[in-house]
């Protein structure tokens, strides 16, 4: 029976009990799944995407992978409240200055433009 790459990776990590670098995990999974040599290069990106989407796996530091079941909830989930956003860095004064500049830009755009004549003989 043919086994998928992700199932092969799952079986290996189930017994490894340690995070494994992606390239090593891919080589092991490709061997277990008996993936033909000509397909190995083409399937590598797809395997990475499959690992990312499969809820059984978690990516660790330095592109190593492991099973979520080997880690606590806190280790495998992001606390979105701790994420620093660029919006927090802007203070209210900067926002007001940006808005004032936008108003000035709109005023300049709405002013009529009159042609300037370089015909100085008209005024002599």
Pairwise CA distance, residues 99 & 94, whole Å: 9
Comparing 56-60, 109-113, 118-122, which segment has the lowest mean pLDDT? 118-122
Q: State whether 35 and 56 are in the same domain.
A: yes
Tens-place pLDDT, residues 25-66: 999 999 999 999 999 999 999 999 999 999 899 888 899 998
Q: State whether 71 and 88 are in the same domain.
A: no
Q: State whether 49 and 103 are in the same domain.
A: no
What pTM did the predictor assign? 0.58
Q: State whether 11 and 62 are in the same domain.
A: yes
Q: State whether 95 and 37 are in the same domain.
A: no
CA 6 to chain centre: 21
Pairwise CA distance, residues 82 & 71, whole Å: 20
Range of the domain at 98: 80-110
Q: State whether 57 and 92 are in the same domain.
A: no
Q: State whether 52 and 17 are in the same domain.
A: yes
């Amino acid at each position: 029976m043919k086994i998928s790459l992700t199932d092969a990776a799952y079986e290996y990590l189930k017994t490894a009990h340690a995070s494994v670098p992606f390239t090593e995990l891919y080589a092991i999974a490709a061997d277990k799944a008996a993936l033909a040599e000509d397909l190995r290069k083409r399937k590598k990106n797809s395997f990475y995407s499959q690992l990312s989407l499969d809820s059984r796996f978690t990516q660790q530091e330095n592109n190593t992978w492991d099973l979520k079941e080997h880690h606590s909830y806190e280790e495998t989930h992001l606390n979105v409240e701790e994420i620093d956003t660029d919006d927090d860095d802007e203070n209210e004064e900067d926002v007001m200055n940006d808005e004032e500049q936008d108003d000035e830009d709109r005023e300049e755009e709405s002013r009529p433009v009159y042609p300037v004549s370089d015909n100085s003989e008209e005024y002599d």
